Amino acid sequence: MSGKLVNATGVLCRLLEQSKPTINGAALLGGEFGEGGHELVRERLLVLGPALSYVTCPDCGIEMARAVRSVGVDQVLLYCDECGEVDADRALLQTYTVSLSRFIDRMVSSLELTPSNRKAIGNDISWRLGVQEHKRGKAQTWYFARHLNDHTVARHLLDQIRSDNAAQSAKIITSTDVPLPDGSPLVGYDIKNLAAIARMSQNVFLFFDDRAEVTVSQPEEEPAPVTSLRHVRHKGWAYVDGVKYELEGMQQKILLALMDDFDHRMEANQIRDKCGSRAARFVPIKYFGRNPLVYHQFIQYVDGDDEYELKISEEDRSWLS
C-alpha cells in the first residue's frame, strides 16, 4: 500500500520535471507508471487535457495514426497509412496535465502554512509556499521549485530567498533529483526532493521527516567564530584560528556531508555519493588543494576503518554533536 503511494509522488515529480507536465493516458495509466498514475488521478492532482487527434500507431509503432471515431466506451478506431484501421484503447488519445495550482494549494495546506504568504516566483516554475512560525520566534520560509538543476531557475529562487531575508531559514522542496549539480547557486541550502520526504494520502502530503526541525540561525551581531564550521552551510566559510577561509563548492559539500551524517564518520564512497561526484576513486583531500589547513583542521582519515571523521572544535560542540 505505502509503496504504491510513494510511487505516486515519484511519478508526480517526474511529470513536474518535464517542461510541460502533460502525459498521455496510456503511458500514465499503464506500464511503469500504472499504480502511481491512477493514484494521481484519484487525488485530482492530474486533470484531463485535450484529447489527441494523432498518435503513434500502436500496431506498427512507426507511423502516425489518425483518430477516426469512438468504438464503445473504452475503444477508439484509428487509421494508419501503413496498417489501415486499428482498434486502440481510448487512453492512448487522452492527455493528463498536472494541475499546478491544485498541487501548490495542497503543499501549502499540508505544511499548514498561511495561504496569504504564498507567492509565485517564476511562471509555473517556483513558488514561495509560506512562512512557518516557531517557538522562540524562529521562522522557516518554505519554497517549492521545479527544474532546479537549471542554474537560471536556481538563481531566480535564490534572489527571492534573499529579498525575503530568508537565507538562514529557507526550506526548499523540489521535484528535481538532489543533490543539485556542481556550481548550483543554491549549494549549501536545505533542499529536499518531494518524493524522498513525502507521500500522498487523501488530499494531503504526509511528510516523513520532522518538518518542525529548526534550521540553525544566528543573529547578525554575533561575534565571528574562531575555529568553527558554523558558517559553512549558508555562507560557504570555514574559520580556523580566527581566519576566514572561503570554501570551494566541493569543499563545502564534503564538509556538509560529514556535518549532516549522524555520527560524522563516512566512507569515501558515501561522501562521494552525497556530494554528487562521479569520481571512480574519491579522495577528499584532493579537493582541498587551496585550503589544506581547513582539511587538516576538520577532517581526519581513520586508517583502520577506512573512514573519514569530522573533527569538531570545542566551540562547535553545542550545535554540532
In the complex, the residues that contact Zn ion under the rule CB under 5 A are 57, 59-60, 63, 80, 82-83
Asked if the peptide bond before residue 219 counts as cis, ω within 30 degrees of 0, the response is no
Residue (63 or 309) nearer to Zn ion, CB: 63
Please report how close the Cβ of residue 51 comes to Zn ion at its closest, in angstroms. 19
C-alpha cell read off for 282: 574519491
Please report how close the Cβ of residue 63 comes to Zn ion at its closest, in angstroms. 5
Please report how close the Cβ of residue 92 comes to Zn ion at its closest, in angstroms. 13
Cβ neighbours of residue 21 under 8 Å, at least 6 residues apart? Answer: 15, 97, 98, 100
What is the rounded CA–CA span in Å between residue 62 and residue 79? Answer: 13
Confirm if 157 and 148 have CB atoms less than 8 A apart: yes
Residue (59 or 89) nearer to Zn ion, CB: 59
Residue (55 or 187) nearer to Zn ion, CB: 55
Q: Is the dihedral of CA 121, 125, 126, 129 positive or negative?
A: positive
Q: What DSSP letter does each residue of 76-143 carry, written as one string?
A: EEEEETTTEEEEEEGGGT-EEEE-HHHHHHHHHHHTT--GGG-EEEETTTEEEEEEEE-GGG-EEEEE
Number of residues assigned to the chain: 321
Please report how close the Cβ of residue 28 comes to Zn ion at its closest, in angstroms. 22
Q: Which amino acid is at 103?
A: F
Confirm if 129 and 113 have CB atoms less than 8 A apart: yes
Residue (60 or 302) nearer to Zn ion, CB: 60
Residue (63 or 164) nearer to Zn ion, CB: 63
Residue (75 or 218) nearer to Zn ion, CB: 75
Residue (59 or 124) nearer to Zn ion, CB: 59
Please report how close the Cβ of residue 30 comes to Zn ion at its closest, in angstroms. 19
Please report how close the Cβ of residue 117 comes to Zn ion at its closest, in angstroms. 53
Cβ neighbours of residue 151 under 8 Å, at least 6 residues apart? Answer: 183, 184, 185
Please report how close the Cβ of residue 84 comes to Zn ion at its closest, in angstroms. 8
